């Protein structure tokens, strides 16, 4: 299908219109996510503090092994929860985009989706790490340009995991194909999203119109590539 003009401003207007239509729900959802995140961080901090205290007060080998095991398991659970909290808002935004409604139980993301998101993020940032390592051999500007292009090409993988329920490798491959010839569009969309959501005090509460804007752009990219074999 021939590429058409996709306007980021039109996508933003759509996202903001949807946001106002569901303003109360989005504010409640944002507050719920903040409450869950704060509660989890406080709980993790208290739990890890207790483990550190016990580690300092014991010399029993078996107890030390148990405490270290508990520490690493809780650290993994913390990372798991962070990924789940990262994916949940996008899942809610997809519900609003597709169905015009959502619910609080959609905050609980499936294990498959969370593990796909975790592996996908590890691979995504591994690519970034490779480019940082290449600074030893190439100039900063050259690495920055190529790094930006590659990261933009892979930036749709989380949407694909949520929307298409695919694994991390497949999501990265699909993102690369969807974004062919669309790096500038994705850069403008990313710039707009981060400019909105990083505003002091109110930025987090503008997360959902930003996500709806990104989903609108993503769905248009899907539409123009609908006949391609992934």
Q: What is the pLDDT of residue 190?
A: 92
Structural domain span for residue 104: 8-224
**10-residue block means of pLDDT along the chain (230 residues)?**
78 92 90 84 76 67 70 76 85 92 85 90 85 71 79 92 92 93 92 87 85 94 74
Does residue 3 fall inside a structural domain? no
Question: Do residues 153 and 176 touch, judged by C-beta distance below 8 A?
Answer: yes
Q: Tell me the per-residue pLDDT of 172-203, one tens digit each, with 9 for 90 and over.
A: 999 999 999 899 999 999 999 998 888 877 78
Distances in Å between the alpha carbon of 42 and those of 16, 35, 74? 33, 11, 13
At 63 the pLDDT is 66
Is residue 63 a part of any domain in this protein?
yes
Give me the number of domains the chain comprises. Answer: 1
Residue 2 within any structural domain of the chain: no
Q: What three-state secondary structure class fits 94?
A: helix
Whether 229 maps to a domain, the answer reads no
What pLDDT does residue 75 have? Answer: 76
Residues 6+ apart with CB under 8 A from 71: 48, 51
- Domain assignment present for residue 230? The answer is no
Residue 147's pLDDT is what?
80
Report the pLDDT value the prediction gives residue 228, as an integer from 0 to 100. Answer: 61
Instruction: Classify residue 134: in a domain, yes or no.
Output: yes
pLDDT at res. 219: 94
Record the tokens describing residue 176, joined without a space.
């690369």
């Amino acid at each position: 299908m021939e590429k058409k003009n996709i306007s980021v401003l039109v996508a933003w207007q759509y996202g903001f219109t949807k946001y106002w239509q569901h303003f109360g729900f989005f504010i409640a959802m944002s507050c719920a996510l903040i409450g869950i995140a704060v509660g989890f961080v406080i709980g993790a901090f208290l739990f890890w503090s207790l483990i550190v205290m016990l580690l300092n007060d014991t010399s029993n080998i078996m107890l030390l092994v148990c405490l270290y095991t508990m520490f690493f398991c809780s650290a993994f659970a913390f990372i798991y929860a962070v990924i789940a909290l990262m994916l949940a808002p996008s899942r809610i935004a997809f519900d609003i985009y597709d169905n015009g409604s959502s619910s609080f139980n959609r905050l609980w993301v499936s294990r498959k989706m969370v593990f796909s998101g975790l592996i996908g993020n590890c691979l995504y940032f591994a690519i970034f790490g490779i480019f940082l390592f290449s600074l030893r051999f190439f100039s900063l500007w050259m690495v920055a340009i190529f790094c930006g292009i590659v990261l933009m090409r892979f930036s749709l993988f989380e949407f694909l995991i949520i929307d298409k329920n695919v694994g991390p490798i497949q999501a990265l491959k699909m993102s690369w194909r969807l974004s062919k010839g669309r790096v500038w569009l994705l850069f403008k969309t990313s710039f707009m999203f981060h400019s909105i959501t990083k505003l002091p005090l109110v930025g987090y509460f503008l997360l959902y119109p930003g996500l709806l804007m990104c989903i609108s752009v993503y769905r248009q990219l899907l539409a123009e590539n609908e006949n391609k074999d992934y």
